[in-house]
A and B are shown apart, each in its own frame.
Chain A
């Protein structure tokens, strides 16, 4: 057991412990979903639409079915009797396209065969006859008057805030009149009265690209349907929500469906909610055998992407730079199915105007159906889209007002405890202090050579944590070791070690005696989701309660076997101190109480919206970032030389993991700022592969990285912790765009800022912006 050093308040929490999953992941011993096989298992491959929008006139499966090794070819009509759709907000997502296809890449049929090769070979023999329909390939086209509709029917929508489960039954019949999948608004004060009296009104527009989250492991699942029970192993961030979707499809009791998620090879939001599980499940249901489905990278790219967005911001200031009003319009291209985009757009609305005092506000966000691949959650959840436009707008205002942009932020940032969203939890962070950390680090490490160089900062605050429903179980064994059960998924973020640290801390045991088991709906505790940076904070709280529950049971049992009163028993390491000076270990308590070398004591922790977590959001996630960028004016290439992150996490349970999260999030954000963009050319993507879709590499990492932590114990979670993992991503594209504008003298209207785009920005002819002189002459 580590000793408490001076200044340390915790035995395990707050230390950069070795992650229990580290070695097996590095050596390759770790089992991922793709490694799972079942006896008698068949393999599925998906026939995908080769049209963006078309009526399916007919599907002829006979040639494919006649091929050797093929066991079944399943089309939408084979799913009669099932509720053949999913979608936790709008159940609009068909398992297999029926009637028409809505995007290139949409599943049309499933080929199930003895081997993957046989299934693959049969794909081309499924003959689908299409009649083309006019397609809408962008939000702009989709919103145009008279645009063809992606969905004709209106499906009953779940209230995003209450998140009550989707109701089944008669949700059809109502007809849609537009391609708007969801609209979210937020308004207070009277913005219109402000524009005429403001000292400055600053307006800008930014485009945020379609992105692929690029988890190293593509989507895959193994499903086994047998005698009214369904078992699925899958790459699901939220196994319990996937279970709910699957139970609804087959009208099964929740308890008859088991979804397990082993280690995930990355998710970044892209593995939240249901993806390939229904395909594997219906294939098993039809064939009566276990079915494995593994997508390749191209199929994964077509399965989920980030919502692209067109964001228009208008802000009014007084002559001292105080924000008087902000009006923001967000249009997201959400692709062919709603998936989680309604929530993404709602969050984008909340997160777009920044952690500032905004006395008058009007924000409108629309999630729009188009005939492109479906968009859903992506790390940052609507924040990156909104913050890019909102923060560059603020920077442009600083130019206009002649006020240094850090100073402009100082004047407008909310102070600790102040509300950002009216009636919601006040900010549980000290943003002005975080800001000074970034300003200081950028200044201190500014390079001597300032030619074609600029630094910039940006910030954001996200209403994070999602809806606080969480449970945890601890099982104290007869030898005093501890099993923690949690439904939160380990996906690389380090939850396995953070939860072990919390359990060891609460129970005063050594870390090595704690084993954490996660994400098995049939065996572990319930967890709503693994997202919104919530695990350490919310699962952590549930786990603390479970440990206290176990401790109080153990204490009563110790009193019973020792014949004293529970009040006379005091805590001691891995056990209790008894009256008279003896101690008793947890193992002895368990063994003596059961009267054999056996038994265990279970502690349960439940968390809901009450007490400390009554107010939404459970916590705010802060993004506070600085970058220093140098541009090669001849080629337009950007080198990010400096990166400053502030992890304002309240308390870092594993500081190294927090820094790694910040660096990872910032790097992923740099991908969007500099390189990443899915591009459509006609009905299909030009770059649905990892050679042409450029992600950041080691060489792109900034030479100077200052990863700082701000630990003020101001979070609602264990020991004052708040979540981490998205914060550093959210503002970074805005910071890079600002640095580029400072160097070039012109504001970009989109990211990624590829070399070609920067070169064009430099060489564009037209009215210059107000960012002042170039720092050096152009190279010839």
Chain B
């Protein structure tokens, strides 16, 4: 059961930043946090609900860059008409995160900060070259997504920092595909393949299979060797598969992603 805790519901970012710390955790959808508390893995004395803070709930364009507030829920991103026009690959990912309950409750910030390895969102954002902004009561810092996630359940975020926004640079110029093998509640393998503009480089990210996504940059699709990519991964063996099976899946999905991207080009 859920142990007792105090609940704070600030509506200003400054107030939230003043509250959070080692024993007072940010709380958004609670899809990970409350489960960890029920299992007694986390036992904070207070939670700071981020859902009332307007500054964290925005989705907006800054020029060609897409800026997503840290508390925006998966379901909102999946339903966002502007995103589906300009960055359809994000829509595809968000529509298929977990299940309906997770999508309506869970936030993009919670997904990234919890750093559960089997994340579609982190994989796609890595391929998109996204970064995040961490804020504390003393200042802000921007970090590339690939530098933010250190390992399973591990990020560079300090307990006094909030993830306030996700920034996808030049999002309007990017296009891509995302494919995943999902057998249980979370993905087994996710592969994102994104192109930086019409003649730009390709960025391939493979996630969910190991602790952190791996990212490879190539100038043409022909350079992608699916077997070699599979060899680069370090799969976690679990109920959804052994190491050899997961590496095989990586190769399959990389091939499929390359094929889908090539078809998109041809279309």
Contact = CB atoms under 8 A, between A and B. Distances in A.
Is B one of A's binding partners? yes
A687 interface: yes
Interface stretch (B16-24, B163-171, B210-218, B239-247): B239-247
B1 A296 contact: yes
Interface residues of B, number: 18
Contact of A120 (B1, B248, B252): B1
B7 to A, nearest CB: 15
Contacts of B3: 117, 120-121
Contact of A759 (B38, B184, B245): B245
B4 A117 contact: yes
Interface in A82-129: 116-117, 120-121
B252 A635 contact: yes
**For A635, A694, A755, which residue has the most chain B Cβ atoms within 10 angstroms?**
A635
Contact of B1 (A117, A635, A694, A755): A117
Given A635-B252, A692-B239, A760-B245, A754 B183 contact: yes
Contacts of B248: 759
A637 B184 CA distance: 12
Given A117-B1, A117-B4, A679 B239 contact: yes
A513 interface: no
B99 A756 contact: no
Contacts of A687: 239
Interface in A556-576: none
Interface of B is mostly: loop
A756 B252 contact: no
A691 interface: yes
A116 B239 contact: no
Nearest to B184: A694
Interface string B236-267: 00011110010011001000000000000000
A755 B185 contact: no
A697 interface: yes
Interface string B179-203: 0010111100000000000000000
Contacts of A679: 239
Interface of A is mostly: loop
A697 B185 CA distance: 10
B182 to A, nearest CB: 10
A316 to B, nearest CB: 38
Contacts of A756: 240-242, 245
B99 A694 contact: no
Contact of B239 (A117, A120, A634, A686): A686
Nearest to B98: A691
Interface string A755-779: 1100110000000000000000000
Interface in A685-742: 686-687, 691-692, 694, 697
A684 to B, nearest CB: 14
B239 A755 contact: no
A756 B249 CA distance: 10
Contacts of A691: 184-186
B257 to A, nearest CB: 13
Contact of B183 (A121, A637, A686): A637
Contacts of B4: 117
Nearest to A760: B245
Nearest to A45: B1
Contacts of A759: 245, 248
Contacts of A697: 99
Contacts of B185: 691-692, 694
A692 B183 contact: no
B65 to A, nearest CB: 34
Interface in A293-330: 296
Nearest to A755: B183
Contacts of A634: 252
Contacts of B252: 634-635
A692 B249 CA distance: 20
A679 B184 CA distance: 15
A686 B1 CA distance: 20
A10 B240 CA distance: 52
A725 B185 CA distance: 28
Contact of A116 (B1, B99, B183, B186): B1
**For A637, A687, A692, which residue has the most chain B Cβ atoms within 10 angstroms?**
A692
Contacts of B181: 635, 637, 755
Contacts of B242: 756
**For B38, B186, B248, which residue has the most chain A Cβ atoms within 10 angstroms?**
B248
Contacts of B183: 637, 675, 694, 754-755
Interface string A397-441: 000000000000000000000000000000000000000000000
Contact of B249 (A117, A296, A635, A686): A635
A694 B182 CA distance: 11
A687 B240 CA distance: 11
B225 to A, nearest CB: 14
A370 B38 CA distance: 30
A654 B181 CA distance: 40
B184 A692 contact: yes
Contacts of A635: 181, 249, 252
Contacts of A296: 1, 38
Nearest to B181: A635
Nearest to B242: A756
Interface string A631-649: 0001101000000000000
A635 B248 CA distance: 8
Nearest to A115: B4
Nearest to B256: A634
A679 B238 CA distance: 11
Contacts of B245: 756, 759-760
Contacts of A117: 1, 3-4
A120 B39 CA distance: 11
Contacts of B184: 675, 691-692, 694
A117 to B, nearest CB: 5
B119 to A, nearest CB: 14
Nearest to B100: A698
A757 B104 CA distance: 33
A120 B249 CA distance: 42
Contacts of B99: 697
A635 to B, nearest CB: 6
A687 to B, nearest CB: 6
B248 to A, nearest CB: 7
Nearest to B188: A755
**For B3, B38, B99, B184, which residue has the most chain A Cβ atoms within 10 angstroms?**
B184
A117 B183 CA distance: 35
Nearest to A779: B252
A715 B126 CA distance: 63
A5 B214 CA distance: 68
Interface string B1-21: 101100000000000000000
A688 to B, nearest CB: 11
B6 to A, nearest CB: 14
Contacts of B1: 116-117, 120, 296
A634 B1 CA distance: 42
A756 B237 CA distance: 12
B168 to A, nearest CB: 28
Contacts of A760: 245
Nearest to B249: A635
Nearest to A780: B255
Contacts of A686: 239
A347 to B, nearest CB: 30
A117 B38 CA distance: 11
B167 to A, nearest CB: 31
B258 to A, nearest CB: 13
7 contacts: A117-B1, A120-B1, A296-B38, A691-B186, A755-B181, A759-B248, A760-B245
Interface of B: 1, 3-4, 38, 99, 181, 183-186, 239-242, 245, 248-249, 252
Ordered nearest first, which 6 A-B pairs have the shortest CB separation? A634-B252, A756-B241, A694-B184, A691-B185, A756-B245, A117-B4
Given A120-B1, A754-B240, 7 more contacts: A117-B4, A635-B252, A675-B184, A692-B184, A756-B245, A759-B245, A760-B245
